[in-house]
Every structure is written in structure tokens, then in C-alpha cells.
Amino acid sequence: MTHIWGLLLTTVYLEESPLPSPLPEEPPIDPSRITPGLLGGLSFIFLIIAIVLLYRSMRKQMSRVNPDLPRGPGDRERAADEQMTEEAEERGSDEPPKT
């Protein structure tokens, strides 16, 4: 019985939505003629200009950084971590550090 209903539904579905046929007057699309167009070209140029401006701004800001700044709290913590790591490597074991 379910086979008959499936066949009936398939027939009704195919009759109400016929498969589209290609129009004879449309030429096939040539892949070598597809281009990004004006909007794609302008977007690409905008991105290139934005990258150049951001790069110049970054170089300008980096040149203002003083390399002789005093060490901050993050630098002290990093130095302590490096020292603990070196001590652990010298011990060669998983023992906790001696404080």
C-alpha cells in the first residue's frame, strides 16, 4: 500500500514542477570572459590602499617606542618563569622548586 502512495506522490510532484529546459537563444557561458567587474576591481584597490596606510602607520608607531624603557611587572614575571624553567631543567626531575 505504501508503494502505491509513494508512486502517486512522485507522479503528482513531477507533474506540478516540470524540469526547466535551457532557452535556445542563450549562448553558453565562456569561462575566459568572466571578470570581477568594476565593483570587484574597486574593492581590490581599496584593500591595497588600506593595507599600505596601515603598514605606514604601524611603522611610524613602532619607531616611537623607546627600547630603553624600565622593566614592567610582566617582564619580571617572565624572567622568574625562565629562571624556574632553567632550574627545573638542571634538576632533570618533576620535583617542585625549592622556595
Higher confidence at residue 5 or residue 30? 30
Q: What is the mean pLDDT of residues 80-94?
A: 82
One DSSP character per residue, 7-18 reads: HHHHHHHHHHSP
Round to whole Å and give the CA distance between 12 and 7. Answer: 9
- What is the per-residue pLDDT for 7? 64
Amino acid in position 19: L
pLDDT, tens only, 35-74: 888 999 999 999 999 999 999 999 999 999 888 877 777 7
Q: What is the pTM of this model?
A: 0.43
Helix/strand/coil for 5: helix
CB 52 within 8 A of CB 44: no
pLDDT, tens only, 13-26: 555 555 566 666 76
The full set of domain ranges for the chain reads: 37-62
Virtual torsion, Cα 58, 64, 69, 73, nearest 10 deg: -30
